[in-house]
Amino acid sequence: MGLLSDPNRRKALTGLLTRLNTPICIVCYLAGIVWFMGLAFEPFTLRTYMSENAMGSTMVEERFSSGERALSLAKEFDAHKRKAGGMPVEWLVKAMQSRGLEVFTQSFSRKLPFPDENKERYMVRGTNVYGILRAPRAPRTEALVITAPCSPGNTNNQAVALLLALAQYFRNQIYWAKDIIFLVNEHDLIGTQAWLEGYHHTNITGMEYSPLQGRAGSIQAALSLELSSDVITSLDLVLEGLNGQLPNLDLANLFYAFCQKLGVLCTIQGKLQRNDWDTAEGYTHAAQTMMLMVLKQACGRSWGDHGLFLRYHIEAASVRGINSFRHYKTDATTIGRLLEGMVRKLNNLLERLHQSYFFYLLPSLSRFVSIGYYMPAFGLLAVILLLRVSFPGLCHCFSVSLQPSSPGVLTVLTPVVISHLTGVALYLLPVHLQEMAVEHFPVSETEAVVLTAIAIYTAGLALPHNTQRLLSGEGTEQGWKVLKLTALLYLAVLLGCTALINFSLGFILAVTLVPITASITPHMPKALYAVVMVLLSPAFTILYCVFIYQELIEAPVSVSEGWMLFLSVISQGILDHALYGSLVYPLLALFIYPCWLMFWNILFWN
């Protein structure tokens, strides 16, 4: 620490930082990007391993054999589903009862803030059916959940049928130490949300539901099953949950271990694993898988039924059967065995899953990047903001502006407040003004909401001129410096907090926001920089993400299709917030966008 206490060297260090500020920032930015891309390179990542002792050493022997019966059950279920025109509640109740479960139902209803055009629903009314397998000689303190959504059409019949077959098989075993809840939920995530809220007796999203009659203590883990064909090529593991939360890595390890044991092809993000890490293709493949995970995590929505469990501290993952045109097929019995093995291992747990990582990225199922490895990539980007704060002129004027007589405080406060008011408008108005918008324009409710949001977003760009009118005097040189200082610190704090909770979101925002915000001053060519700023604004970031995502899942879209997707992503984001409490939309509208507007103000400072 002699470095800091020695005034000479300190001076030299500050001098160096001041003189080389811009080159250091550029180097940091590039290093951050390179570091991030390097995470997908196999030699830099760690091999996954089972941390939990209770699940590690003892392999269970799977004996489930009624896969064929499950398939015939699927046909029966399908017939009853058609007949009932929805979820065949009575049939399910009987089917579960005859398998020796304690069966309960829960009805729920939810009026969406505006119609969901993707899933074509507005007034949602449904019923969840769940059966509890009571573990012998267990005091109802712990439970595991297996859930299968009852989807419209003829999708997911096999999942429900396999669930019932597993229930029947599990019921005849003596070794259960935790109760097992078999849940068939209607209206996918809404049903799961209603059930979870009912189970924990909370109401965070304004759902209406009937109280649950049967409970089984604290839920330790949950598996969601999605299966729409009799045979499958591969099983896909979905981990990304609400707000980018991930289940404990041991759950992924468990799935991977059983896929290896039973010889089932397993994928993550729909991508198989490759062994040729030293070739360019191998690296690209891993990088694509990781990028997909980052994009999915960043958007903060729940990518399967499991995602909603994570809020309640329940480790959960979705297992999705994929049937593509390959020769290699796996039958229902094997999938049943895989699930049996996983559930039995979870049953062996003595404590909640806690040994392994909660923060990680997966370039493939057998490799992971832990928080210690990926955080430096973000850190390198975030440090740019701090370096810019230490830019000499800024520090000095901040101390000046704190003196009460100085006009600086007012000049800074006004744009800050106005930007945030715009943010509040962006957050509140789209949903509340939809009726008015529908009256005046020939659009549907959903379009009205999205277009209002875009309109408010665009209107915010006109703010600098309006702000200037409110200000009494001319914007001073000192004024914009104070504003920039505030905005930089604000952005640094925002991004830092976001990255701690949801690394992907923080990183993506940092990649687009940091370069322009770090370099912005009012003395630049306004037209050029205005265009650049808009192109790097949060909304355009979402647009790029849509295109990149489509590219990565090998379903590239044209510009117009991309635009439509962009619109639906916005409406889904607003819906996710209203229905499940996803925080990405409020974060963007209330914090990131106003922060960006502050920099926009600096550009037009005069």
Partner 1 sequence: MAAHRCGLSLVCILIFSSLAHPSSCDTLEKANDNTAEKRSISEVNTDGSVAGEALNERQWQSTDAEVDRSDSTTHSEALTPAAARDEFQEELVIRPLHSGDIYASFQFRTLWDTDFLQEGQKVSHYRLFPKSLGQVLSKFSVRELHISFTQGFWRTMQWGQPFIPSPPGAELWVWFHDTVSDVDGNWKELTNVLSGIFCASLNFIDLTNTVQPSASFKPLGLGNATDHRFLRYATLPREIVCTENLTPWKKLLPCGSKAGLAVLMKSEKLFHSSFHSQAVHIRPICQDEQCSSKAWELRQTLNVVFDLHTSGQGKKEWSLFKMFSRTLTEACPLASSSKVYVDITDNPEGELFELSPATPLLGQAVVLGDRRTYSVYDLSRAETFGQLRSFNLLLRWKGDSGDMLRPLLHAERYVAGFGLQTGEIHTVIYNNHPYRAFPVLLMDSVPWYLQLYIHTLTVTSKSRDNKPSYIHYQPAKDRHRPHLLEMLIQLPPHSMTEVTVQFERALLKWTEYTPDPNHGFYVGSSVVSALVPSMVAMRTNFTQDQPLFSSFVPVKEESSYFVRVYTEPLLVNLPTPDFSMPYNVICLTCTVVAVGYGSFYNLLTRTFQVDEPSPPLSKRLANLIRRMRGVPLLT
Question: Interface residues with partner 1 (CB under 8 A)?
Answer: 1-2, 4-5, 100, 102, 134, 136-142, 171-174, 200-202, 215, 217-218, 311-313, 350-352, 354-355
Beta carbon of residue 355, minimum distance to partner 1 (angstroms, whole number): 6
CB nearer to partner 1: pick between 233 and 356: 356
Beta carbon of residue 584, minimum distance to partner 1 (angstroms, whole number): 20
Beta carbon of residue 212, minimum distance to partner 1 (angstroms, whole number): 9
Beta carbon of residue 216, minimum distance to partner 1 (angstroms, whole number): 9
The Cα 560–Cα 571 span in angstroms is 17
Residue 149: name the closest of 94, 197, 191, 205 by CA: 191
Beta carbon of residue 177, minimum distance to partner 1 (angstroms, whole number): 10
CB nearer to partner 1: pick between 215 and 329: 215
CB nearer to partner 1: pick between 137 and 440: 137
The Cα 215–Cα 179 span in angstroms is 10
State how far Cα 121 lies from the chain centre: 22
Our CA dihedral for 47, 53, 57, 58, rounded to 10 degrees, sits at -130
What tokens were used for 396? 């000095």
Residue 169: name the closest of 253, 80, 67, 89 by CA: 67
Strand partners, 484: none
CB nearer to partner 1: pick between 138 and 532: 138
CB nearer to partner 1: pick between 173 and 323: 173
User: In sequence order, what are the residues at sequence separation of 6 or more whose Cβ sits closer than 8 angstroms to the Cβ of residue 532?
Assistant: 516
CB nearer to partner 1: pick between 350 and 559: 350
* Letter string b/e over residues 46-71, b meaning 16 or more CB atoms within 10 A of that residue's CB: eebebbbebbbeeebebebebbebbb
The Cα 272–Cα 364 span in angstroms is 8
Burial class for 486, CB neighbours closer than 10 Å (0-12, 13-18, 19+): buried
Instruction: With beta carbons less than 8 A apart as the criterion, state whether 593 and 491 touch.
Output: no
Phi and psi, residue 583, nearest 5°? -105, 5
CB nearer to partner 1: pick between 173 and 476: 173
CB nearer to partner 1: pick between 196 and 397: 196
Beta carbon of residue 5, minimum distance to partner 1 (angstroms, whole number): 6
CB nearer to partner 1: pick between 212 and 511: 212
Instruction: Provide the terminal-to-terminal Cα distance of the chain, rounded to the nearest Å.
Output: 44
The Cα 245–Cα 247 span in angstroms is 7
Sheet holding 367-370, edge to edge: 46-47, 367-370, 360-364
